[in-house]
């Protein structure tokens, strides 16, 4: 539990925080290493426990306490070697942790009243991406979510964004000072030996006032002073940039652009993507910004893999005899594009008998009913006509899984060309199924569209099931995707009435409004009546103590929570005397592993009859 570190905003595992000392420190932030031993510093490292007796430490702590209960953060004495169980005397920690902010070297066990955990040996592991990632993941998975994480002796301008993305909040100037002493001129994309430069690439006031020749004519001490000032300014500017990226919700895109400059950073990012369990638990279900996917690492983003897995787990395709595979388009939602308008026109009256899916890199398979749902209509990718082998494999694997588990005995038609056809042919061989191809050249050509219509009409027969057309089928599918399989039948039953123009649909049962489709994200916002319909399913529910919420649900008031909840999910809040609906600010994991903070923004509140 922390009293002094507050999370203000977040983007995945990265946080904007406020460390409340005698000066509020906005994190991610840089600690001044030389000043960390100074009792007037914001951070005071008491050093190795081998060097001081308990009596001496108590005197130091009393001196600090006399100045004010929260002016400084004190790093508790620790061993100089790998920490072991019991390396901190519990009585000593108990004596001080209730009165001043505490930093503790992580030893595998979480303790009460700790405000900052330190990753032991992070400088040692900074050349070993796998081990470094494992260290960060272990500490992030085992300490309270709202505790600050400090990685000493690793921070450089080029790696700050990636380490923040992985969940580190505090850094120090150690690595920057070492680089400065070695004549290294730092930038956000790497470093230069000052001796090898022909000019200074930075245009800050200090650098622009000097020529490279001026710098090289300095004494060693003068040059260190100049490089130290420049390098510290660069890393502080980069921290400000990273904080803005977190606020804007686009840190991942920035990390991808930076990781290409360093094998270590690329490895850290890929280890994160290859171990998505922790990151998926705390990654937002939607975001307002377009998701840019311009690198090979974008293919492995949690948002894409989550969409694919949820589609397999929750989506129920219509019981039609024909499944039609179509290519994606640059314009989204796809049905608004010129190419898909042509497909729809060509299908004409036969469209109501078929099940449409769209192939896309990097998502894989998007059922037509989910084309509005994040991130299907919210990503952008460079279109060149060339697909990497990694792209082909990912899309082929997802199509294979979809056809294997979702298509049943449907006849499969693919109106595709080029790489899309290559992918369909791979899957056809893998699953030993027949796929009928209808495109003769470009999919939008007159002959191709004519062949599509003719082929579909011949495959249909009198036994073909009539498809539940938009909007009811779409809203049912979105409800299933959002809240779990079969929830759509409850929220959008066959007797429901759909009002409003596309895509601003509203669901009514009798005279009661149940839900509204939010076009911005392609998800449903519930009313109290909608919440009551699925309240007994215990899906996406936050259980609170006996109080009536006003505006927001805070963490201390929560008793239990559905583990499937992610940030920005639509949730139901239930208490002994109340039922509410709102939007989750935290994930279930964060709610159950935080000391305080806003967990849910409440939109509607209704007291129960028994209250």
Residue 110 has pLDDT above 80, yes or no: no
Which is more confidently placed, 528 or 288?
528
Q: What is the pLDDT of residue 82?
A: 44
What domains are defined for the chain?
A: 5-174+254-274 (3.20.20.105), 291-459 (3.40.50.10630), 468-531 (3.10.450.90), 538-611 (2.30.130.10)
pLDDT band at 86 (very low <50, low <70, confident <90, very high): very low
Q: What is the pTM of this model?
A: 0.90
Looking at 297-301, 339-343, 421-425, 450-454, which range is the least confident one? 297-301
CA 262 to chain CA centroid, Å, is 22
Mean pLDDT, range 417-431, rounded to an integer: 96
Closest CA to 234 of 200, 210, 262, 264: 200
92 pLDDT higher than 60: no
Percentage of the chain modeled with pLDDT above 70: 89
- What is residue 81's predicted lDDT score, i.e. its pLDDT? 45
What's the pLDDT score for residue 84? 42
Mean pLDDT score across all residues of the chain: 88
How would you label 243-263 residue by residue, b for 16+ Cβ within 10 Å and e otherwise?
Answer: bebbeebbbbbbbbebbeebe
Query: 282: helix, coil or strand?
Result: helix
Strands (E), 469-569: 497-499, 506-509, 512-518, 523-526, 541-544, 552-554, 558-561
Q: What are the φ/ψ torsions at residue 559 (nearest 5 degrees)?
A: -100, -45
189, pLDDT greater than 60: yes
Do residues 30 and 23 lie in contact, with contact meaning Cβ atoms separated by under 8 Å? Answer: no
Chain segment 540-594, per-residue pLDDT in tens: 999 999 999 988 999 999 999 999 999 999 999 999 999 999 999 999 999 999 9
How many angstroms separate the Cα of 344 from the Cα of each of 331, 415, 501?
Answer: 15, 12, 19
Least confidently predicted of 76-80, 81-85, 222-226: 81-85
Query: What per-residue confidence (pLDDT) applies to 88?
Result: 45
Q: Are the beta carbons of 559 and 545 closer than 8 angstroms?
A: yes
pLDDT per residue over 365-418, tens digit each? 999 999 999 999 999 988 777 899 999 999 999 999 999 988 776 799 999 999
Closest CA relative to residue 163, chosen from 235, 228, 64, 90: 235
pLDDT at 55 over 70: no
Candidate from 88-92, 125-129, 440-444, 507-511 with smallest mean pLDDT: 88-92
pLDDT surpassing 50 at residue 87? no
Interval 107-128 mean pLDDT: 80
Task: Give the pLDDT of residue 412.
Answer: 95
Element (H or E) spanning 132, and its range? helix 129-142
* Token output for 135: 């260290």
User: What average pLDDT does this structure show over 158-186?
Assistant: 95
User: Binning pLDDT at 50, 70 and 90, where does residue 155 land?
Assistant: very high
């Amino acid at each position: 539990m922390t009293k002094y570190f507050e999370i203000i905003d977040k983007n995945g595992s990265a946080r904007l925080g406020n460390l409340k000392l005698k000066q509020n420190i906005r994190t991610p932030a840089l600690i001044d290493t030389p000043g960390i031993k100074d009792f007037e510093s914001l951070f005071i490292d008491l050093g190795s426990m081998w060097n001081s007796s308990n009596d001496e430490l108590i005197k130091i702590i009393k001196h600090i306490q006399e100045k004010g209960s929260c002016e400084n953060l004190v790093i508790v004495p620790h061993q100089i070697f790998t920490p072991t169980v019991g390396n901190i005397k519990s009585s000593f920690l108990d004596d001080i942790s209730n009165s001043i902010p505490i930093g503790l070297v992580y030893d595998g066990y979480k303790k009460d009243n700790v405000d900052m955990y330190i990753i032991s040996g992070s400088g040692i592991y900074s050349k070993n991406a796998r081990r470094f990632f494992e260290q960060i993941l272990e500490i992030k998975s085992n300490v309270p979510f709202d505790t600050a994480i400090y990685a000493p002796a690793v921070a450089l301008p080029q790696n700050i964004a990636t380490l923040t993305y992985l969940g580190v909040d505090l850094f120090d100037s150690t690595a920057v000072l070492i680089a400065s002493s070695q004549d290294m001129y730092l930038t956000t994309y790497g470093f230069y030996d000052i001796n090898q430069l022909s000019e200074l690439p930075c245009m800050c006031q200090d650098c622009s006032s000097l020529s490279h020749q001026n710098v090289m004519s300095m004494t060693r001490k003068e040059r260190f002073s100049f490089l130290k000032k420049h390098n510290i300014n660069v890393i502080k500017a980069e921290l400000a940039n990273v904080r803005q990226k977190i606020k804007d919700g686009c840190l991942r895109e920035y990390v991808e652009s930076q990781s290409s400059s360093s094998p270590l950073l690329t490895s850290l990012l890929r280890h994160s993507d290859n171990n998505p369990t922790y990151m998926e638990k705390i990654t937002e279900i939607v975001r307002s910004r377009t998701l840019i996917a311009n690198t090979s690492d974008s293919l492995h983003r949690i948002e894409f893999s989550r969409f694919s897995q949820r589609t397999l787990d929750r989506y129920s395709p219509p019981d039609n005899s024909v499944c039609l595979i179509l290519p994606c388009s640059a314009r989204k939602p796809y049905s608004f594009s010129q190419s898909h308008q042509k497909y729809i026109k060509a299908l004409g009256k036969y469209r109501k008998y078929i099940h449409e899916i769209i192939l896309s890199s990097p998502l894989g398979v998007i059922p037509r009913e989910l084309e509005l749902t994040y991130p299907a209509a919210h990503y952008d990718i460079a279109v060149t006509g060339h697909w990497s082998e990694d792209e082909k494999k990912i899309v082929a694997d997802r199509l294979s899984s979809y056809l294997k588990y979702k298509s049943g005995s449907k006849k499969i038609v693919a109106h595709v060309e080029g790489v899309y056809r290559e992918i369909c042919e791979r899957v056809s061989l893998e699953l030993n199924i027949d796929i009928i191809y209808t495109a003769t050249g470009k999919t939008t050509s007159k002959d191709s569209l004519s062949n599509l219509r003719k082929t579909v009409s011949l495959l249909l027969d009198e036994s073909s099931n009539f498809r539940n057309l938009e909007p009811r089928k779409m809203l049912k599918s979105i409800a299933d995707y959002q809240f779990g399989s079969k929830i759509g039948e409850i929220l959008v039953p066959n007797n429901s009435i759909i009002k409003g123009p596309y895509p601003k649909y509203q669901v009514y049962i009798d005279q009661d409004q149940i839900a509204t489709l939010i076009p911005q994200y392609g998800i449903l916002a519930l009313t109290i009546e909608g919440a009551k319909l699925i309240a007994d399913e215990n899906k996406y529910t936050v259980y609170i103590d006996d109080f009536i919420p006003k505006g927001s649900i805070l963490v201390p008031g929560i008793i239990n929570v559905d583990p499937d909840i992610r940030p920005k999910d639509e949730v139901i809040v239930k208490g002994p005397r109340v039922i509410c609906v709102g939007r989750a600010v935290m994930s279930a994991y964060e709610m159950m592993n935080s000391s305080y903070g806003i967990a849910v923004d409440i939109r509607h509140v209704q007291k129960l009859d028994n209250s």
